[in-house]
C-alpha cells in the first residue's frame, strides 16, 4: 500500500529513500467500507490521510439537515479537516467513504515531526497548501459569479476523475445547486454537445 504514497512523494517532493522509510514507519494503514466515517462532526481530526484507493467527501450538515459538500478526494489526494487537524478543536465536518477505500494516515505528532525534520516534505506540503488555497478562492469566485451552466462545465473540466464516481445529488451539493437545476443543466449540456458532434 505504501508504494502509492512513496511514488507520489518522489514525484511531488523528490524525497530520498531514507526519508521515504521514515514516512513509511510513521504511517498507519486504514481501510474504510463504503459509507463508513473517517471523521464525525464534534470529533478532532487527528490524522491527515493519503488516499491510496477510493473516493471520500468532506461535508457539513446544516441545522435544517441539508448536506453541504466542501471537498471530494480520490486516489493520490490528501483528506482531513485541516482546520481541526492544526488547531486541535472539534470538527464541524464529517468525512465518509463514497467507495470502499484504502488510506495511509499520519497523526499530528508525526506530521509535525516530518515538517521539522524533512525539508522536502515541508516544501511539498507548502506547495499543496498554496494550491488548495487557490482552489478555495476559485470556488468562492465561482459560487458568487458563475451561472449554473458554468459551474457544471468547470466541475467536469476540473474534476474529471470525480465526476463519474459520485452521485448527481452530491455534485449538486458541491456546486451549491438544487438537484433539479443540475438535472436541467445536464440535459441542456448533453443536447448542446450532442448537436456539436
Distant-in-sequence, close-in-space partners of 190: CB < 8 Å, separation ≥ 6: none
What pLDDT is recorded for position 28? 97
Kindly state the DSSP code that residue 64 receives in the 8-state scheme.
Answer: T
Query: In the chain, which stretches have pLDDT less than 70?
Result: 195-197
What pLDDT is recorded for position 195? 53
How far does CA 33 lie from the centroid of its chain?
17
What pLDDT is recorded for position 197? 42
How many Cβ atoms from other residues are within 10 Å of residue 47's Cβ? 21
Query: H helices within the chain, ranges in order?
Result: 2-13, 17-26, 82-87, 108-117, 119-145, 148-158, 160-163, 168-175, 179-196
Q: Report yes or no: 83 and 89 within 8 Å, Cβ to Cβ.
A: yes
How far apart are the C-alpha atoms of 183 and 29, rounded to whole Å? 38
Phi-psi region of 160 (alpha: psi -120 to 50; beta: other; left: phi over 0): alpha
pLDDT digits (tens, 9 = 90+) for 54-79: 999 999 999 999 999 999 999 999 99
Amino acid at each position: 500500500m505504501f508504494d502509492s504514497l512513496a511514488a507520489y512523494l518522489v514525484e511531488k517532493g523528490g524525497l530520498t529513500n531514507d526519508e521515504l522509510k521514515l514516512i513509511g514507519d510513521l504511517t498507519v494503514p486504514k481501510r474504510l467500507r463504503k459509507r463508513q466515517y473517517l471523521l464525525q462532526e464534534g470529533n478532532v481530526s487527528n490524522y491527515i490521510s493519503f488516499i491510496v484507493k477510493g473516493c471520500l467527501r468532506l461535508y457539513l450538515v446544516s441545522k435544517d439537515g441539508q448536506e453541504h459538500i466542501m471537498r471530494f478526494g480520490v486516489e493520490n489526494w490528501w483528506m482531513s479537516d485541516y482546520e481541526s487537524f492544526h488547531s486541535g478543536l472539534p470538527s464541524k465536518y464529517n468525512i465518509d467513504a463514497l467507495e470502499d477505500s484504502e488510506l495511509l494516515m499520519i497523526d499530528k505528532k508525526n506530521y509535525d515531526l516530518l515538517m521539522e525534520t524533512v525539508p522536502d516534505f515541508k516544501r511539498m506540503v507548502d506547495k499543496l497548501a498554496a494550491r488548495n488555497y487557490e482552489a478555495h478562492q476559485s470556488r468562492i469566485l465561482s459560487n458568487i459569479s458563475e451561472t449554473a451552466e458554468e459551474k457544471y462545465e468547470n466541475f467536469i473540466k476540473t474534476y474529471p476523475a470525480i465526476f463519474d464516481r459520485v452521485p448527481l445529488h452530491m455534485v449538486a451539493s458541491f456546486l451549491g445547486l438544487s438537484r433539479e437545476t443540475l438535472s436541467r443543466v445536464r440535459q441542456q449540456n448533453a443536447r448542446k454537445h450532442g448537436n456539436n458532434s
